[in-house]
């Protein structure tokens, strides 16, 4: 049981390049999320998927697109990377049930855009 | 507008003593709060939660206290151990996605426990 996995762990891009960050969870969770964390900041929501087949914008969606490929996988795409997108990206998931919105996080992808 | 605030970027305590991490919030409608712990190069991991109808929740060495009138919560770690050295985030329900929605995180407090 690997939990939430993310690939790659590190990536360096040049301005204007594109890339896709991959996320997969093996806990049969319905909801999945993409956050970014910048130095001295808390995590901020980029996009989320409440269930397979649905995606919605979060607090900071500009410059990103997502795909909920199936129940396990939720990818984040940067079409034209900008230096402002240099950040650490975390994917998370949670089950539908439960009183509290306890989310399980992957190890993160550290992205640098030059 | 930061709804969840952790005003202390760092805290250093001696092993065996108590660590107290603080969190303030502005939205009186939050119905629960969570604490996460994060080690370097890892994702945050859930630590403990508290419902807004309670004023205390305890789990082993970790206790969270909630003071609704002051819109303040604190995480107590007793006794502190070197392995507790990490960044601690306070979190509350966000406004995206309703019950399936996001969490709002504070900026975090880096705890260092010295042997």
Those residues with Cβ within 8 angstroms of residue B114's Cβ, 6 or more apart along the chain or in another chain: B12, B13, B14, B15, B82
Nearest C-alpha of chain B: how many angstroms from A72?
16
- Rounded to a whole number of angstroms, the distance between the first and last alpha carbons of chain A is 36
Selection from A48, A13, A54 nearest residue B101 by Cα: A48
In chain B, the residue whose alpha carbon lies closest to the alpha carbon of A42 is B107
In chain B, the residue whose alpha carbon lies closest to the alpha carbon of A29 is B100
Q: Cα dist. B32→A65, A87, B93 in Å?
A: 30, 28, 7
Residues of B in contact with A54 (CB under 8 A): none
State whether B43 and A106 contact (CB < 8 Å). Answer: yes
| pLDDT for residue B94 | 80
How much is the average pLDDT of B85-98? 84
Tens of pLDDT along B41-81? 899 999 999 999 999 999 999 999 999 999 999 999 999 99
Summary mean pLDDT of chain B: 92
Query: Binning pLDDT at 50, 70 and 90, where does residue B90 land?
Result: very high
How much is the average pLDDT of B18-45? 94
Q: Secondary structure of chain A in the HEC alphabet?
A: CCCEEEECCEEEECCCCCEEEEEEECCCCCEEEEEEECCCCCEEEEEEECCCCCCEECCCCCCEEEEECCCCEEEEEECCCCHHHCEEEEEEEECCCCCCCCCEECCCEEEEEC
> pLDDT tens, position by position, for chain A (114 residues)?
689 999 999 999 999 999 999 999 999 999 999 999 998 888 999 999 988 889 999 889 999 999 998 999 999 999 999 999 999 999 999 887 666 778 999 999 999 999
| pLDDT for residue A97 | 66
Residues of A in contact with B103 (CB under 8 A): 43, 45, 101, 103
């Amino acid at each position: 049981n690997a939990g939430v996995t993310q690939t790659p762990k590190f990536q360096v891009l040049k301005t204007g390049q594109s890339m896709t960050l991959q996320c997969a969870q093996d806990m049969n969770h319905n909801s999945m999320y993409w956050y970014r964390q910048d130095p001295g900041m808390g995590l901020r929501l980029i996009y989320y998927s409440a269930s397979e087949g649905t995606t919605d914008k979060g607090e900071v969606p500009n410059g990103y697109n997502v795909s909920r490929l199936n129940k396990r996988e939720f990818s984040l795409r940067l079409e034209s990377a900008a230096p402002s997108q240099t950040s650490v990206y975390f994917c998370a998931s949670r089950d539908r049930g439960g009183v509290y919105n306890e989310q399980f996080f992957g190890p993160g992808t550290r992205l640098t855009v030059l | 507008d930061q709804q969840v605030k952790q005003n202390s970027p760092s805290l250093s305590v001696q092993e065996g003593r108590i660590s107290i991490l603080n969190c303030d919030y502005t939205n009186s409608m939050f119905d629960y709060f969570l604490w996460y712990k994060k080690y370097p190069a890892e994702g945050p991991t859930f630590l403990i939660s508290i419902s807004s109808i309670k004023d205390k929740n305890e789990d082993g060495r970790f206790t969270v206290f909630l003071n609704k009138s002051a819109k303040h919560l604190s995480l107590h770690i007793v006794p502190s151990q070197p392995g507790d050295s990490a960044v601690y985030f306070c979190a509350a329900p966000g406004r995206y996605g309703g019950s399936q929605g996001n969490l709002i995180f504070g900026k975090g407090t880096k705890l260092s426990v010295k042997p």
